[in-house]
Chains A and B, each alone.
Chain A
């Protein structure tokens, strides 16, 4: 077992002060379901583990007038079983329920789900020094790439594994980030970064910052949402492709549709082309399928993952029809 030092701040103030001045490599521990795997395989080699479990202010959900506030340390189980989520955010409930297994949902947190690292088998294998780990090449590009990106890849072809992120982006969620300089909010959609922007990490979080809260705006009365996820096996798995969709539904017309794909790109992939093609028009299944095919023409599959284009097309259609039927 590798040796680490443990730091246990009692509150957010202590945490951000520590993050601002701490020397040495450190990692933030929320539930640990992803982090402990990364530590065991020495994919991450920090000196210090910063434990968040005493930060009471980061736990639980809070319904406010204009928004639902979800503390970063809320577990996935708590999110999935929350009456507010079940009532107002059907797609978010589906996404939360689709994550991992009961054992993982009982421990894994909302903040951790958004900040989890990619599942790329070259990244997770200590023997491959890939670009994401400071090496000089992406092994998936000319290697085994069945589970890799069809959008936004190139120098690194991971897919973002989060189920919550596409769903929360479709609901126009924001996140709150704290540092010693104070707190800031940003759209979750703006949080994630492509490998061409930051190769070593998947988001904008700086070493002195911590994600503290997710803020989901109050839905309009016509808002419907859904999450459709396709996995290779029936038991728990990461998405091969998933589609989070939200829109104001009026008869067979969708207004302000948001379609965000998971499992297809290094970040949750918003498909605005598809949104524009179906917005405000009378939709039937044939029309949705044709729009999906058209929108997916931008995809650039690798040698072993062209099936993801077909899969995405079917799931986009299903998600569209599911919004209309709800």
Chain B
């Protein structure tokens, strides 16, 4: 937890930042170099498209702009956990069945395990690490604590992100809407009733913005 908090303050490590900066700068240099002649467009229309083994992307992660190099078959989950060391987003089933890897992309809940990392280029990604403001927890996080809405806690980051997406769509969802909004997440400890209680309490106040 302490480690995650530290990471949260820094966002990404200095090394990651420098790595990102390097590839970003290279990308810029290449694209200014290759001011395309008209024939390049013709080439493309003929179907001669470049085969990219890697891709430089930049996106907003938890409020900070970052640049990073990804591979075509890499999932956003892999990028977050293995390259950016944001391990709050959990890998559980890795096949889009459990919801443990839920993050928000442009305010919508998605399974990061099935989301191609290269597709977040230019987008806004929010993970569990982006919720708390320093030591102050986000209202959704606080509600889960207040209602004891977890046992082992492994599914909790996914549930919190799915809850946040739901509340951003509708401030006061009904019980049925809460159930539908969270049906992509599984808690195998069996804490669904307490999770519902936490989200119901949030729905009766208001969905908070981080």
Contact = CB atoms under 8 A, between A and B. Distances in A.
Interface stretch (A103-111, A197-205, A249-257, A311-319): A103-111
A51 B47 CA distance: 14
A13 B165 contact: no
Interface in B25-81: 44-53, 55, 71-75, 78
A32 B75 CA distance: 10
Given A6-B118, A8-B52, A33-B114, A235 B183 contact: yes
Contacts of B183: 101-102, 234-236
Interface in A1-50: 1-10, 13-14, 16-22, 29, 32-33, 36-37, 39-40, 48-49
Contacts of A1: 71, 73-74, 78
B96 A37 contact: yes
Given A3-B73, A13-B45, A102-B162, A40 B52 contact: no
B73 A107 contact: no
A53 B119 contact: yes
Looking at A2, A180, A235, the one whose CB has the most chain B CB atoms below 10 A away is: A235
Bin chain B's interface residue count: 35 or more
A200 to B, nearest CB: 22
A51 B119 contact: yes
Contacts, number: 115
A100 interface: yes
Interface in A93-123: 100-104, 106-107
B125 interface: no
Interface in B62-119: 71-75, 78, 94-96, 99, 102, 108-111, 113-116, 118-119
Contacts of A3: 53, 71, 73
A37 to B, nearest CB: 5
Interface string B106-138: 001111011110110000000000000000000
A14 B102 contact: no
A6 B72 contact: yes
Contacts of A17: 44-47
A1 B72 CA distance: 10
Contacts of A14: 44-45, 47, 49
A103 B110 contact: yes
B20 interface: no
Interface residues of A, number: 42
A237 B92 CA distance: 18
A102 to B, nearest CB: 5
Nearest to A100: B184
Contacts of B165: 102
Contacts of A20: 47
Contact of B51 (A6, A21, A101): A6
Nearest to A101: B184
Contacts of B166: 102
A154 to B, nearest CB: 29
Contacts of B24: none
Given A101-B183, A101-B184, A107-B115, A10 B110 contact: no
B94 A106 contact: no
A104 B184 contact: yes
A7 B52 contact: yes
A22 B51 CA distance: 11
B139 interface: no
B53 to A, nearest CB: 6
B116 A36 contact: yes
Contacts of A18: 47-49
B186 interface: yes
B99 A103 contact: yes
Interface string B146-182: 0000000000000000100110000000000000110
B118 A235 contact: no
Nearest to A16: B47
B171 to A, nearest CB: 16
A106 B116 CA distance: 14
Nearest to A105: B184
A180 to B, nearest CB: 8
Looking at B71, B96, B108, B119, the one whose CB has the most chain A CB atoms below 10 A away is: B96
Interface of B: 44-53, 55, 71-75, 78, 94-96, 99, 102, 108-111, 113-116, 118-119, 162, 165-166, 180-181, 183-186
Listed from nearest, the 6 A-B pairs whose CB atoms lie closest are: A101-B184, A17-B47, A6-B72, A5-B51, A18-B47, A4-B72
8 contacts: A1-B78, A4-B71, A18-B49, A33-B96, A36-B75, A49-B73, A235-B184, A236-B184
Interface of A: 1-10, 13-14, 16-22, 29, 32-33, 36-37, 39-40, 48-49, 51, 53, 77, 100-104, 106-107, 180, 234-236
Given A1-B74, A13-B45, A14-B47, 12 more contacts: A3-B53, A5-B52, A7-B51, A36-B115, A37-B114, A49-B116, A51-B118, A51-B119, A101-B183, A102-B180, A106-B110, A107-B111
